[in-house]
């Protein structure tokens, strides 16, 4: 199953909602965002999730949704992070070396807020479970 396709995004959203350190942690801060995932250089993301109060309420193939976050990387990097999820140091390195790009969203604000940074790291850990 290819990453970020409709089927993949639906499985990812199920895993997200079952992950207490992710969904529950984000619910505590009333986290609401539409997050796109895709390949660096593409005009639009491939897939998206819509998170309301920490829970994914909608997901699938990207179809023009307004995004709060748009995460991009090469397929090789997404594949690598599926096998070995990013930790805090790896995330910082991926961002500073532009292996992970935020086409939309404020990486600096997110990473400085431990209430968001921890769950963000956990979201990468789910990639290998799909």
| CATH number where 24 lies | 3.30.1050.10
Give mean pLDDT, residues 15-29.
93
Model confidence band, residue 29 (pLDDT cutoffs 50, 70, 90): very high
As a whole number, the mean pLDDT across the chain is: 94
Q: Is residue 82 part of a domain?
A: yes
Q: Is residue 50 part of a domain?
A: yes
pLDDT in tens, 45-78: 999 999 999 999 999 999 999 999 999 999 999 9
Burial class (CB in 10 A: 0-12, 13-18, 19+), 28: exposed
Q: Is residue 102 part of a domain?
A: yes
pLDDT in tens, 87-125: 889 998 999 999 999 999 988 888 888 888 899 999 989
d(Cα 41, Cα 74) in Å, to the nearest integer?
8
Q: CA 52: distance to chain centroid? A: 14
d(Cα 36, Cα 102) in Å, to the nearest integer?
10
> Which tokens in the block code for residue 124?
């990468």
Q: Which domain holds residue 77?
A: 6-129
Q: Is residue 73 part of a domain?
A: yes
**How many separate domains does the chain show?**
1
């Amino acid at each position: 199953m290819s990453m970020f396709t409709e089927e993949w995004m639906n499985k990812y959203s199920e895993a997200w909602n079952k992950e207490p350190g992710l969904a529950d942690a984000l619910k505590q801060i009333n986290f609401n965002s539409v997050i796109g995932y895709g390949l660096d250089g593409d005009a639009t993301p491939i897939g998206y999730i819509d998170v309301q109060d920490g829970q994914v309420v909608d997901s699938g193939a990207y179809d023009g949704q307004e995004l709060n976050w748009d995460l991009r990387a090469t397929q090789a990097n997404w594949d690598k992070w599926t096998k070995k999820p990013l930790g805090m140091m790896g995330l910082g390195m991926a961002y500073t070396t532009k292996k992970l790009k935020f086409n939309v969203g404020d990486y600096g604000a997110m990473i400085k807020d431990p209430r968001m940074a921890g769950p963000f790291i956990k979201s990468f850990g789910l990639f290998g479970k799909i």
